[in-house]
Amino acid sequence: MKKFKWVEHPIPLMFKREKLLGYALDKCNKVPRPIISINNEFLILSNSFVIIRNLFLIPALISVLYLCANELQDVYEAWKSSEKSTIHFIELRKKHYGDDYFDTLPENIKYRNIILYEYNRLNEEGKLTFNQFMKNRHGSYAAYGDRNYRHDRNSIIFFGTTIPLLLIWVIGFKRRAPLIFDRKRRLLYTWSKGSVVAQRYDNLRALETPSFLAIMLRATVKKGQLGWGRFSVTPQGNTIYNSKDSYQQILAYIVQFMEYGREHVMPEQTEWQGRKGWFLFEDKKPDDFEEQLSALLVRIDAATDEVEFDEHGQLIES
């Protein structure tokens, strides 16, 4: 749950209530994103924080794995090409000068060291081992030995650190707690790292930004003070831009569910469950959830720090 810094004040949803109640929902009764569950009592929204994993971490991991695979493929092909050229070099000279050519090579023959260097690259089975290839690749006889060494060293460092880190981030990425709209109690609540965050539905406030729809909640912040938190909603699954219309769809669905019930927004089903995504870990609901919620509601009801608006939805200057 992100703490909220005031840039502009979220407007209470009560000023848009009538408009949202009259908003025409999808004729096909398609449940808008990011709703993941709905029944007679609850409407549940998924946390948009998963976008970081799905749009950034997983693509980054795939990209790095692809680059690593290409790098390994290039080294493998260079290895086999070097082995093939060395075998060809040896066979060609034996064919022209006899099988004992390399054993009887005169001391004063030109390029003797280079010829024997090529000959000795292969093992007793006539194969170029990978270790020998790498020694030759980085050795003084290689055309770009020093450059090859630096490139391979940097590649090992980059892939050897980046791939494990990305794997740890992707696998260890927790499912963040959803936002639950409780129709019976007219509440909305969630939790983060063991702490409950909530708001009375009748005092719900929302802020529409180009990047996300912020549903405002009350939370315990530093030094135990009552502060604000936000639950970010991205109906179009985009971290840069989400349309105003997509916000109206989700807000209308929420308001009509809370006011008229599940049978109004989803008349053909008694309950619906969408895809939650795959996670190994999740932010578990605290054991003392009800106790925390009750205590937080007492503080919410006693709070006097909420910004006031007039009957036209205009901010009242203090």
What is the number of domains present in the chain?
Answer: 2
From residue 213, give the alpha-carbon distance in Å to each of 10, 11, 216, 267, 316: 10, 12, 9, 27, 23
318 is a domain residue? no
Question: With bands split at pLDDT 50, 70 and 90, how would you rate the model's confidence at 318?
Answer: low
**Mind listing the pLDDT tens digit for each residue in 85-136?**
988 988 888 888 888 888 877 877 777 887 887 888 888 888 999 998 888 8
User: Which range is least confidently modeled, 8-17, 35-44, 210-219?
Assistant: 8-17
Q: Looking at the structure, tell me whether residues 192 and 296 fall in a common domain.
A: yes
C-beta separation of 295 from 218 below 8 A: no
Question: With bands split at pLDDT 50, 70 and 90, how would you rate the model's confidence at 163?
Answer: very high
Q: Quote the domain boundaries for residue 108.
A: 57-171
C-alpha span between 2 and 281 (Å, rounded): 20
**Mind listing the pLDDT tens digit for each residue in 145-157?**
788 889 999 999 9
Angle at 195 between CA 224 and CA 57, to 5 degrees: 120
278 is a domain residue? yes
Q: Looking at the structure, tell me whether residues 136 and 203 fall in a common domain.
A: no
The residue type at 90 = I
How much is the average pLDDT of 178-200? Answer: 92
Q: Looking at the structure, tell me whether residues 182 and 298 fall in a common domain.
A: yes
- Give the per-residue pLDDT at 313: 55
C-alpha span between 11 and 172 (Å, rounded): 36
**Mind listing the pLDDT tens digit for each residue in 253-276?**
899 999 998 888 888 888 888 777
Q: Looking at the structure, tell me whether residues 119 and 191 fall in a common domain.
A: no
310 is a domain residue? no
The residue type at 192 = S
C-beta separation of 127 from 139 below 8 A: no
C-beta separation of 275 from 175 below 8 A: no
- Give the per-residue pLDDT at 5: 47
Q: Looking at the structure, tell me whether residues 180 and 35 fall in a common domain.
A: yes
- Give the per-residue pLDDT at 27: 61
311 is a domain residue? no
Most confident option among 142-146, 197-201, 206-210: 197-201
- Give the per-residue pLDDT at 1: 46
Q: Looking at the structure, tell me whether residues 284 and 230 fall in a common domain.
A: yes
309 is a domain residue? no
Among all chains, which residue has been given the structure tokens 């290689």? Answer: 142
- Give the per-residue pLDDT at 189: 93
**Mind listing the pLDDT tens digit for each residue in 215-255?**
889 888 877 788 888 888 888 777 778 888 888 888 988 99
- Point out the domain boundary residue: 139, 171, 203: 171
**CB-based burial label for 307 (10 Å; 0-12, 13-18, 19+):** middle
